[in-house]
Amino acid sequence: MFELRAPSLILGGIGRTAQGRTRTICVTGGAGFLGSHLCTFLVESGHRVFALDNFHTGRRANVEHLLCSGQFSLVQHDIVAPLPDDLPAFDEIYNLACPASPVHYQSDPLATLDICSRGTRNCLERAVRDRARIFHASTSEIYGDPDIHPQPESYWGNVNTLGPRACYDEGKRFSETLMYEYARRHGIATRMARIFNTYGPRMQPDDGRVVSNFVIQALKGEDITVYGDGSQTRSFCYVDDLIEGIIGLMASDEPIEGAVNIGNPVEISVRTLAEIIIEMTGSASRIVYRDLPQDDPRRRRPDIGRAGTVLGWAPKIALCAGLECTIDYFAEQIESGGLERGM
């Protein structure tokens, strides 16, 4: 049985007890993979949480366990429209709404650009109105196919503006600029994390991301689809570590300018990831090779020196421990028929 492990450091330290009062918090994209873990953590910390989601890639099932808490509201809303007026003033806004997997953000590139531009701006307008602190989920994709390795925040990136990934990469770059300009013009407190590949329970089974694809394929005994020759690398962060980093970033009262990389610096090739998952699941699946998607970054690894210095944060969960929880989760979903029901 999968159990959500609340990040103990935060529950005991940076959460409600440290801040001393219950806050009213908006989480856009709250029914998605990361958003649902963030909402769970915030509700467990005693806060009043409003999750705004249009259910494009998120699911009510991801936050079902919070609905009877009395502290959680799930509001169907598309952030490309201004945030609803009939909700209370927010102390904090976490802007996570945006499809994150290449399959989903490329399925409607113009919608992705709208979410990153108008959507982010609507969240910022609300932050100005409520004098709320605002967090934005940026991404390692703003580094594109990086020439500098590992990637520090000072690296400006290498993004193809005209490729299939550009709607997301350039959209997120534009969002960062919006955050920067709103902070300068309106003096609001802004926080930005550049999130590197994150995995864990509640990843969408159909979003084509490498960890969910490989785990589901291995559990079902299907071929494991490695794109290209599998020598491209990624650095995978378990979701609990990521949430701890985000909460720490938002809770810090230090003025934190610019973005902070949040990710796990342990880098592995996609082929090695496939081999590890086959071994951990005891699967008879074999590896097959498929075409590498256009503009697929060759390597990616965060330099997390800044997160260590300004937040005292570093990931703690080793890949095998995180994969074990993720495999257990998907095994349970397959057994209960959850994958077929769209979870």
Q: Which is nearer to ligand NAD, 6 or 97 (CB)?
A: 97
Instruction: Based on the shown chain and the rule CB under 6 A, indicate whether residue 35 belongs to the binding site for ligand NAD.
Output: yes
Q: Which is nearer to ligand NAD, 204 or 217 (CB)?
A: 204
Q: Which is nearer to ligand NAD, 101 or 283 (CB)?
A: 101
Q: Which is nearer to ligand UDP, 135 or 196 (CB)?
A: 196
Burial (CB < 10 A; 0-12, 13-18, 19+), residue 308, is exposed
Q: Which structure tokens are listed for 155?
A: 């690296």
Q: At what angle do helices 270-281 and 319-336 cross, to 10 degrees?
A: 60
6's contact among ligand UDP, ligand NAD, none, with CB below 5 to 8 A by partner kind, is none
Cα gap 39→8, rounded to integer Å: 16
Instruction: Based on the shown chain and the rule CB under 6 A, indicate whether residue 146 belongs to the binding site for ligand NAD.
Output: no
User: Judged by CB under 6 A, which of 120, 138, 213, 326 binds ligand UDP?
Assistant: 213
For ligand UDP, what does the binding mask look like between residues 162 and 201, x meaning CB under 6 A? -----------------------------------x----
**How many chain residues bind ligand UDP (CB under 6 A)?**
15
Instruction: Report the candidate in 276, 195, 197 with the shortest Cα–Cα distance to residue 230.
Output: 276
For ligand UDP, what does the binding mask look like between residues 218 and 237, x meaning CB under 6 A? -------xxx----x-x---
Q: Which is nearer to ligand UDP, 62 or 140 (CB)?
A: 140
- Please, what's the b/e burial string for 262-287 (b: 16 or more CB within 10 A of its CB; e: otherwise)? bbbbebebbbebbbbbbebbebebee
225's contact among ligand UDP, ligand NAD, none, with CB below 5 to 8 A by partner kind, is ligand UDP
Instruction: Give residue for tokens 């594109």.
Output: 144
DSSP annotation string for 287-305: EEEEPPPTT--S---B--H
Cα gap 133→90, rounded to integer Å: 9
Q: How far is the CB of 72 from ligand UDP (least distance, A)?
A: 29
Instruction: Based on the shown chain and the rule CB under 6 A, indicate whether residue 261 belongs to the binding site for ligand NAD.
Output: no
Give Cβ neighbours of residue 195 (< 8 Å, ≥ 6 apart): 34, 137, 138, 139, 140, 237, 242, 262, 263
65's contact among ligand NAD, ligand UDP, none, with CB below 5 to 8 A by partner kind, is none
- Pairing of the two strands 224-227 and 233-235: unpaired
User: Judged by CB under 6 A, which of 252, 296, 316, 331 binds ligand UDP?
Assistant: 296
Q: Identify residues 203-242 at the interface with ligand NAD (CB under 6 A).
A: 204
- Calculate the CA 41 to chain-centre distance: 14
Backbone angles phi, psi at 339, to 5 degrees: -65, -40
Give Cβ neighbours of residue 255 (< 8 Å, ≥ 6 apart): none
Give bridge partners of residue 226 from the DSSP assignment: 289
Q: Identify residues 53-112 at the interface with ligand NAD (CB under 6 A).
A: 53-58, 78-80, 96-100
Residue length, the chain?
A: 343
User: Judged by CB under 6 A, which of 98, 137, 210, 325 binds ligand UDP?
Assistant: 210
Instruction: Based on the shown chain and the rule CB under 6 A, indicate whether residue 175 belongs to the binding site for ligand NAD.
Output: no
Instruction: Based on the shown chain and the rule CB under 6 A, indicate whether residue 267 belongs to the binding site for ligand UDP.
Output: no
Q: Which is nearer to ligand UDP, 78 or 145 (CB)?
A: 145
Catalytically active residues are 168
Give bridge partners of residue 136 from the DSSP assignment: 95, 192
Q: How far is the CB of 234 from ligand UDP (least distance, A)?
A: 5
Residues near ligand UDP (CB under 6 A): 101-102, 197, 208-210, 213, 225-227, 232, 234, 270, 293, 296
Q: What does the binding site for ligand NAD look like in residue numbers (CB under 6 A)? A: 28-29, 31-35, 52-58, 78-80, 96-100, 115, 119, 137, 139, 195, 197-198, 204
